[in-house]
Every structure is written in C-alpha cells, then in structure tokens.
C-alpha cells in the first residue's frame, strides 16, 4: 500500500487549464512523476478565479485523472498563484544585535525579517513570500546566513510578494472543495524557476518569462536568489483574441490558426502561401496570406516584450542578464517569439522545459507543464531547505498561509 508521504503534488490553476502532477519520491532524494492530469479551465481569467463552480470542476477532473494514473488519492498539494493582482517589492529590515557580546542569534535574524515585513501593507493584501536576498552585518553585505557572526547592526534585504487576500481565499476554497488541502500557496514564477532554470543561470542573472493564456509571469534571479518578479496582464490568449477580431473569425478558429500557422516575426515568413479562414456565423471562408497573420501577431508580441523591457529598466536589471532569458509556458511556443525576444530585449534567449524530475516524457517536453513541475521541485526544496539552503532556513512565512488555510477550512 502506497504511503501518502511518498508523494508530492503540484497544482497549477492556469487561465486555460488546470494541471496536476503527482511526484513520487524514489527514496534517494530524487523524484519521479507518477501521475499527471489536465482539464480545460473556464473558471479563471487573467490568473484569477471568476467562476468557482467551473474552477472546482476543472480541479476535480484534473486531479482524478492524475490519481488514476498514479494509483493514489491526493489529499494535500502545493498550489500556484499568479493573478494580475500579485505585487512584488524589495524591502529592508534593520535591528540592533541584542546580545552584549554582539554574537548574532536566530532571534535577531527573525526580528530583522519581521521588520522587513512590517512595511505598511493595505488590509486587503497579504504576504505570500518573504524571501531573504542578503544580510548585511554592520557595513558588510552579501551574507547568506549571519547566525553566529559578530556585529552590532543587522540588516536584511527581502523580496516581498503580496497578493489580494480575497483572491487567495477564493483559490483556497476551490482547492478545498475539490477535496484537497493546500500545503502552501506559491507564487508561480518562483515555482517555475525551480523547474526550468539552472543554478548557473540563477547565479549569473537570468530573466524567467512564463507566457500563459491570460497572464505573463516573470522573475529575475541573480546571485542564486529572486531579485524582482511580477505578473503582466497580457498572455497568449490575447494573441488569439487579436486574430479573431481582425480576421472576424470565431475564437476557436483563431486559436487553431495561431497554433498551426502563427508566427510573430515577419522576417521569418517567406512563402506567399494562403490560409483558409472560416467566417463567423457560417459565411464563406476566405484565403488570407500568412504574412497578414504575422502582421496581426507581431505588434502584440512587441507590446508584451516592451512591457517586460520597461519592467527590467524600472528595476535596474536591463543589460544585467548574463545568464540570458528563458521563455516557458504554452505561449512561449509561438513561432518567432524566441528570435523577437532576443531582438527587443537584446539578450540571449532559450526555451525552458521542466528538468530535474524523472518519469513521464510528455510532461518533461512541454512548457505548459513547467509550473506544475516547478511546484513539485519547490516543495522538495522547501523541505530540504534546512540542510541545503541556509538562506531560507527557518525564514519561511509558510505559517501564515497555513493559518489562513485553517481559518478558512473552519468556514467551509
């Protein structure tokens, strides 16, 4: 009989689909994907749930599919959050070292972290993550774990991720109603980064871009830790909308054309071949040159990439990405996007696929699974953080999400 602790579950409630992955520990620190399930999700728009019934149905369908494949029942899962309401800021906390002999204790570190999180937060928002980037002891920076060092002033730089409390609660309700307890809510690009980035890229400076259906989530890593992150309210679904509007064709046809013929870089479209475009309401189909499709998609892609470039500029990371840019998410597969990204953001670009997990090859070859795979990797990392990741040891704000869960389960 399989034991529940052998399994780790990741659930990505995306704008187009719910994706569930069940990972099985191999007993040697590795993890194999034992089950996967996917169901179309009509309950989420721009990363936020707009129809609870529909989201719960999708959650149930996807988790049941994964359960059947893995031969286990899911009771607890790590769940991704990436609504357009999520905001990320860097914050500082500073305290005087308490002990007379000036040796820094864990309690000093905790007080510094508390100070960094005490910055005024509107009452409708909550902290999803508080990730220490570095500690500064007196004037010396770049310290990962200051416990036991000597100093009189301890400072910490923290990356704070906040979301609207009501939105997280809605997501929590949906997952609970599907019969699953939430182990932790994880801001999606942080999970996705665990699945698709290499340690070298994270050290050198890399921009991770997850292009979903309704949103584009991004994170900048440097020195091994997340430095900046956010969500843009533009995703691959907007490309399809543009096609449907301009070509005056149904959304489903526009999506089919985008997947089969879409390209967002005019210089890559050579042939003058035509594409048959069905009209709305059963009118006669007409033939549209492929270049015209590209002329509709390219401005949207440029808009998205310009928004990203502006974000990099604002946060001071433009021109600093020695590890390049990694594109993932279903929308990353649009022809020409890789090349256009390299041009607009002036950096080297590659596709990111989930790595570090064994098992189902179709999952590992598809960028649409990156977030669910990342949630499993994140869960394993979080567990092992005490031994392997001194930067995060004991600094998690998981307790907060846990208490939210408990309060909320009482209301159900």
Residues that bind ligand ATP (CB under 6 A): 14-17, 47, 212-215, 235-237, 240, 255, 258-259, 262, 329-331, 333-334, 368
Return the one option of ligand ATP, Mg ion, none that residue 258 interacts with (CB less than 5 to 8 A, by type).
ligand ATP
Task: Report the residue number, 95 or 254, with the smaller CB distance to ligand ATP.
Answer: 254
Neighbours of 188 (CB within 10 A): 32
Nearer CB in complex with ligand ATP: 15/173: 15
* Smallest separation, CB 15 to Mg ion (Å): 7
Between 72 and 197, CB nearer to ligand ATP? 197
CB of 303 to ligand ATP, least distance (A): 16
Decide: 65 and 34 in contact? Cβ < 8 Å. Answer: no
Site for Mg ion in 44-103 (CB under 5 A): none
CB of residue 299 to ligand ATP, shortest distance in Å: 16
* Full 3-state SS string of the chain: CCCHHHEEEEEEECCCEEEEEEEEECCCCCEEEEEEEEEECCCEECCEECCHHHHHHHHHHHHHHHHHHHCCCCCEEEEEECCCCCEEEEEEEEEECCCCCCECCHHHHHHHHHHHHCCCCCCCEEEEEEEEEEEEECCEEEECCCCCCECCEEEEEEEEEEEEHHHHHHHHHHHHHCCCEEEEEEEHHHHHHHHHCCHHHHHHCEEEEEECCCCEEEEEEECCEEEEEEEECCCHHHHHHHHHHHHCCCHHHHHHHHHHHCECCHHHCCCCCEEEECCHHHCCCEEEEHHHHHHHHHHHHHHHHHHHHHHHHHHCCCCCCCCCEEEECHHHHCECHHHHHHHHHCCCEEECCCCCCEECHHHHCCHHHHHHHHHHHHHHHHHHHHHHCCCCCCCCCHHHHHHHHHHHHHHC
14 touches Mg ion (CB under 5 A)? yes
Binding site partner of 16, from ligand ATP, Mg ion, none, Cβ cut-off 5-8 A by kind: ligand ATP
> Residue 330 binds which entry of Mg ion, ligand ATP, none, with Cβ cut-offs from 5 to 8 Å by kind?
ligand ATP
Of 158 and 226, which has the nearer Cβ to Mg ion?
226
When CB distances are held under 5 to 8 angstroms depending on the partner's kind, the choice from Mg ion, ligand ATP, none that residue 162 binds is: none
Number of residues that bind Mg ion (CB under 5 A): 2
Query: How do 31-40 and 17-25 pair as beta strands?
Result: antiparallel
CB of 270 to ligand ATP, least distance (A): 19
Shortest approach of Mg ion to residue 218 CB, angstroms? 12
Report the nearest approach of ligand ATP to the CB of residue 310 (Å): 20
If the CB atoms of residues 109 and 161 are measured against ligand ATP, the closer one turns out to be 161
For ligand ATP, the closer of residues 145 and 255 by Cβ is 255
The residues that bridge with 129 in the sheet, in sequence order, are 161
Residue 127 φ/ψ region, left for φ over 0, alpha for ψ in the -120 to 50 degree band, beta for the rest: beta
The option from ligand ATP, Mg ion, none interacting with 237 (CB < 5 to 8 A, set by class) reads ligand ATP
How far is C-alpha 184 from the chain's CA centre? 14
User: Smallest distance, Å, CB 371 to Mg ion?
Assistant: 5
Neighbours of 148 (CB within 10 A): 9
Interacting residues with Mg ion between 210 and 239 (CB under 5 A): 212
Shorter beta-carbon distance to ligand ATP: residue 37 or 235 = 235
Strands 274-277 and 286-289: antiparallel
Question: What is the number of residues in the chain?
Answer: 412
Between CA 29 and CA 39 the distance in angstroms is: 30
The one of ligand ATP, Mg ion, none whose footprint includes residue 334, by CB under 5 to 8 A per kind, is ligand ATP
CB of residue 43 vs Mg ion: minimum separation in angstroms?
14
214 binds, among Mg ion, ligand ATP, none (CB under 5 to 8 A by kind): ligand ATP
With respect to ligand ATP, which residue has the nearer C-beta, 203 or 302?
302
Q: How far is the CB of 35 from ligand ATP (least distance, A)?
A: 18
Q: Which residue, 132 or 262, has its beta carbon nearer to ligand ATP?
A: 262
Minimum gap (Å) between residue 210 Cβ and Mg ion? 6
Residue with smallest beta-carbon separation from ligand ATP: 212
Residue nearer to Mg ion on the CB measure, 112 or 208: 208
Where along the sequence are the contacts to Mg ion (CB under 5 A)? 14, 212
């Amino acid at each position: 009989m399989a034991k529940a602790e052998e399994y780790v579950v990741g659930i990505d409630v995306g704008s187009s689909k719910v994706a569930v992955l069940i990972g099985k520990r191999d007993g040697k620190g590795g993890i194999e994907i034992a089950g996967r399930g996917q169901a179309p999700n009509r309950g989420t728009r721009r990363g936020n749930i707009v129809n609870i019934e529909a989201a719960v149905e999708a959650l149930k369908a996807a988790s049941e599919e994964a359960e059947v494949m893995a031969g286990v029942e899911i009771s607890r899962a790590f769940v991704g959050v990436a609504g357009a309401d999520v905001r990320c800021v860097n914050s500082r906390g500073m305290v005087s070292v308490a002990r007379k002999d000036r040796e820094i204790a864990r309690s000093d570190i905790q007080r510094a972290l508390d100070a960094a999180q005490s910055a005024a937060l509107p009452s409708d928002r909550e902290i999803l993550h508080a990730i220490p980037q570095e500690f500064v002891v007196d004037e010396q920076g770049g310290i990962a774990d200051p416990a036991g060092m000597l100093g009189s002033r301890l400072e910490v730089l923290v990356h704070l991720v906040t979301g609207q409390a009501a939105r997280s609660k809605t997501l929590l309700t949906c997952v609970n109603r599907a019969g699953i307890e939430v182990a932790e809510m994880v801001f999606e690009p942080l999970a996705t980064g665990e699945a698709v980035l290499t340690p070298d890229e994270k050290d050198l400076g890399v921009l991770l871009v997850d292009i979903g259906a309704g949103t584009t989530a991004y994170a900048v890593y440097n020195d091994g830790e997340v430095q900046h992150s956010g969500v843009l309210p533009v995703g691959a679904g907007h490309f399809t909308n543009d096609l449907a509007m301009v070509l005056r064709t149904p959304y489903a046809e526009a999506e089919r054309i985008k997947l089969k013929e879409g390209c967002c870089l005019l210089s890559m479209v050579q042939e003058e071949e035509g594409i048959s475009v069905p009209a709305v309401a059963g009118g006669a189909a007409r033939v549209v040159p492929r270049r015209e499709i590209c002329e509709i998609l390219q401005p949207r892609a440029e808009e998205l990439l310009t928004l990203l470039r502006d974000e990099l500029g604002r946060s001071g990371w433009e021109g600093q990405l020695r590890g390049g840019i990694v594109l993932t998410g279903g929308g990353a597969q649009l022809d020409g996007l890789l090349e256009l990204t390299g041009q607009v953001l002036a950096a080297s670009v590659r596709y990111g696929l989930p790595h570090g997990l064994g098992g189902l090859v179709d999952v590992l070859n598809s960028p649409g699974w990156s977030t669910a795979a990342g949630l499993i990797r994140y869960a394993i990392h979080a567990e092992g953080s005490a031994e392997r990741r001194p930067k995060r040891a004991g600094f998690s704000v998981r307790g907060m999400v846990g208490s939210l869960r408990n309060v909320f389960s009482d209301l159900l």
